Amino acid sequence: MKKISIVVIMFLFFCNVQNTQAQYVEKEKRKENQNPNDNNNDNNKNNNNKVENPNNTQQGSRMTLLERLSPGGYIAGSFWGNPTSFEIAPQLGIYLTEKLMAGVGGNYIYYSFKGTNYSVENYFYSGRGLLYYYLIPEIILATEQEGMNVEYFDATDNMLKRKWVFNPYIGAGYNQTISGGRSGAVFMVLYNLNYDEQISPYASPWVLRVGFMF
């Protein structure tokens, strides 16, 4: 009996080993017959998961301080003839968000006129803070707050004096970008809410500017 039991146990063990080997061979055959494109598709899926969203452009990502800076300004005037005038206005902006830029700037204006029996020579200088909002890359809503030092005639003392005046501006502009980038020519129309024709260097509360930003 013992011999018969041993023989049965060995037979069952041998059958189990054979069945395991058969299952392993069948599994390996299925791997060999598998479509190689399936592996490529799996790899592509993994690679696609690693690709960044194409909408995450440089503007959308976190920019460095240098990348957010935007220098610019404008120069205008009549350098020959009578009267002679020129204006230089550098500015430096920084992008707080993709569409909102804040900055500071300065203006210097020189004016001279020679009449038959008299001559006039004057200058103005100012500092200003600015805030630009880009509705789209080409259209800008703008506001500026300017403190300007002007010369005026004091009738009480019958003499010329200088003083500071506050000029708030509101307006809009058009940004003609270069090669689809951020730099370009800027055409700005602003309105001075505190215009005084007696002391302002401008002939109208409407101010037209043409400059550049980088």
Residue 140: CATH number of its domain:
2.40.160.20
| Residue 9 domain boundaries | 2-50
Q: Is 60 part of a structural domain of the chain? A: no
Residue 19 token pair: 């069945």
pLDDT at residue 23 greater than cutoff 90: no
Of the pLDDT bands very low, low, confident and very high (cuts 50, 70, 90), residue 187 is: very high
Predicted confidence at residue 120, as pLDDT, reads 84
Residue 200's SS3 state is coil
Of the pLDDT bands very low, low, confident and very high (cuts 50, 70, 90), residue 14 is: very low
* Rounded to 5°, angle at Cα 55 from 54 and 56: 90
Q: Does residue 104 sit in the same domain as residue 170?
A: yes
Q: Is 14 part of a structural domain of the chain? A: yes
Q: Does residue 102 sit in the same domain as residue 164?
A: yes
Q: How many domains does the chain have?
A: 2
Q: Is 102 part of a structural domain of the chain? A: yes
Q: Is 55 part of a structural domain of the chain? A: no
pLDDT at residue 8 greater than cutoff 50: no
Of 169 and 15, the one with more pLDDT: 169
Q: Is 42 part of a structural domain of the chain? A: yes
Strands 119-136, 84-95: parallel, antiparallel or unpaired by DSSP?
unpaired
pLDDT at residue 160 greater than cutoff 80: yes
Q: Does residue 44 sit in the same domain as residue 81?
A: no
Of 41 and 108, the one with more pLDDT: 108
Residue 5's SS3 state is helix
pLDDT at residue 11 greater than cutoff 70: no
- Asked if residue 189 lies in contact with residue 208, where contact means CB atoms within 8 angstroms, the answer is yes
Q: Is 58 part of a structural domain of the chain? A: no
Q: Does residue 202 sit in the same domain as residue 116?
A: yes
